[in-house]
Structure 1
Amino acid sequence: MDITPEQQVQEEEPVRPRWQRRPVSGTLIRRIVLIAIALVLLPYLLILVYALPFTRPVSTLMLSELALFRGYDRRWVSLDEISPNLVRSVMMSEDGQFCFHGGVDWNQMRGVVEDALDGEATRGASTIPMQTAKNLFLWNGRSFIRKGLELPLALGADFVWSKRRMMEIYLNIAEWGPGIYGAEAAAQYHFKVPASKLSARQAALLAVALPNPITRVASKPSRGVQQLAVLVERRARGSGDYIKCIYD
């Protein structure tokens, strides 16, 4: 049977220009928005959950190790099972005002903003609550988006958790080498001792390795790392009132 040109035109599905194609449905947009809101709110719910002393949080880096089928070594210990040498060293190396601010050191933050506006190289102003929030809920790398998410999380965590709980979580999720997380695994891996038996020098070496634990190896320190460790060890000995929120 012959098909006339008119019938052929009617049977063929016309190809619409992109601007004429069906728009994304409102239901799909609402779902995407709801998922985004849930992802933003989930960390705040977890902050409440992690306030419970029997919970043992894992970091996003630890989850990424599992996702990549690499595994990791982390052995959770209470703060009482971690040497005070490490607590003092980490506090004096990472966040000397830990006991006095509410999650964010606004004086340091103001200085960073002023340096940035002046076109100068910015220094670090990340507190232990900020680092804990980043490790638990966010990702590595510098970006204004991450920092914008990090600040309210740090404030919320510091408000909900005690300082002791904050330090306990931080020292149990901090990275101290490839696949090495937490003070206990770090002490065993680098110095073959439990975290409770770390000496002042070993604790100082672990503390100065924290900013970059892949290139700064606590058990094989470079001359520069050793010099920083001596400085941190000296500060830790004189920490006094700076650590009263941990050791009354």
Structure 2
Amino acid sequence: MGTAGSVEFKAKASGKQKRSLFQRLLHWFRIAVLVFVGSSVAVVLLYRFVPPPATPLMLLRLGNQLEEGKKFRLEKNWKPLEKISPYMAASVIISEDQEFFEHHGFDFDAIRSAFKRNQTHKRIVGASTITQQTAKNLFLWPARSWLRKGLEVYFTILLEVFWSKHRILEVYLNIIETGDGVYGVDAAARRYFHSNARALNAEQSAMIAAILPKPRSWAPPNATLRVYHRQAWVLRQMGNFVGRPELR
């Protein structure tokens, strides 16, 4: 009887220890989630007003330059949207996200179309909106994974909740990679056209937008025939977008 009681007591104690461990883990998990949500919201709110000093991609590229023994290059120059050519703003919307002012962070029609196309084509195409690209470039790393995609969705929602479309477009135009060590459209204007973001004309703006899928490979003077076709495609649609009041 004593032995049976001892075994039963040990079993109950073991069960309590397991429940206690689970409860502690659950407690710390809840704290970690609250800290992550609170800190991420705080950073998003901060960047609503303050220009981001750098992005993970910029730091990653600097690390790659160090590994390869190259000279450090980090060209960027922040410009408010009011000092960026309307042609430039229109060009990235035409090229990257024509429903930018209509959707709330996700273009579900584009996602469905991309999914159907990817079932029958080897070359995978995406359907990321400008908001999604801004979230990815500003907060996350470039490698593809389900974790990164999930975080991209989370930060996209935060940007749409706490930022205006004006701010999303402004940050996007200032942090997007536009060449090897070149970030933002003003730095691109200076490097490729000896100009600035405000003075960019339609052709120059369309060229910068055309290289965005592969900026380190396609940037002038390495623009391929495909890039010029993309530039021409953007220019053909320019009149439908450049006059929109949201771009000014």
Do both share a fold (TM > 0.5)? yes
State the Cα distance separating 1:30 from its structure 2 match: 7.6
Partner of 1:102: 104
Match runs of 1:187-202 below 5 Å: 187-202=189-204
Letter in 1 for 2:170: E
**3-state SS of paired residue (1:98):** coil
Counterpart of 2:178 in 1: which secondary structure? coil
Partner of 2:133: 131
Structure 2 counterpart of 1:51: 48
Q: Find the partner of 2:216 among 214, 217, 226.
A: 214
Give the whole-Å Cα distance in 2 for the aligned partners of 1:50 and 1:73.
Answer: 20
CA shift in 2, pair 1:179/1:240, >3 Å: closer
Conserved in 2, the CA contact under 8 Å of 1:176 and 1:210?
A: yes
User: Aligned partners of 2:231, 2:115: CA distance in 1, in Å?
Assistant: 29
Q: Does 1:175 align with 2:177?
A: yes
Deviation at 1:120, TM superposition (A): 5.3
- Could you tell me how far apart the structure 2 residues matched to 1:177 and 1:128 are? 18
Post-superposition shift, 1:173?
A: 0.3
Q: Distance in 1 between matches of 2:139 and 2:237?
A: 31
**In 2, distance between residues paired with 1:165 and 1:40?**
21
Write the letter of the residue equivalent to 2:60: S
Which residue of 2 is the match for residue 91 of structure 1? 93
Q: CA deviation at 1:39?
A: 4.8
Paired residues of 1:56 and 1:76 also in contact (CA < 8 A): no
Structure 2 residue runs of 5 or longer lacking an equivalent are 1-20, 67-71
How well do the aligned residues superpose, as a CA RMSD in angstroms? 2.7
Please give the alpha-carbon distance, in whole angstroms, between the structure 2 residues aligned to 1:42 and 1:189. 36
Corresponding letter in the other structure for 1:140: P
Note the residue ranges of structure 1 that are not aligned, 5 or more in a row: 1-25
Once the two structures are superposed, residues 199-245 of structure 1 have per-residue CA deviations (whole angstroms, 9 ceiling, x without a partner) of 1111101001111101111444212211110111111222268x443
Aligned residues of 2:90 and 2:247 also touching (Cα < 8 A): no
TM-score (norm 2): 0.77
Query: 1:60 is aligned with what amino acid?
Result: P
Over 3 Å counting, the alpha-carbon distance change for 1:42 and 1:62 in structure 2 is farther
> 1:245 & 1:176 partners in 2: Cα distance?
23
* TM-score normalised according to structure 1 size: 0.77
Moved more, 83-92 or 214-223: 214-223
- Normalized per residue, the structure richer in helix is 2
Q: Percent identity?
A: 34
CA distance 1:43–1:218, change in 2 (3 Å): farther
- Report the Cα distance in structure 1 between the residues aligned to 2:26 and 2:74, rounded to whole angstroms: 38
In the alignment of these two chains, the number of paired residues is 219
Deviation at 1:79, TM superposition (A): 0.7
The more displaced of 139-148 and 161-170 is 139-148
Matched AA of 1:246: L
Matched, 1:231 2:238: no
* Counterparts in 2 of 1:162 and 1:30: CA distance versus 1, 3 Å: same
Larger radius of gyration: 1
Structure 1 runs, 4 residues or longer, greater than 6 Å off: 26-33
Residue range with higher mean Cα deviation, 69-78 or 181-190: 69-78
Distance in 2, Cα, partners of 1:95 & 1:87: 11
Kept after mapping to 2: 8 A contact 1:48/1:160: yes
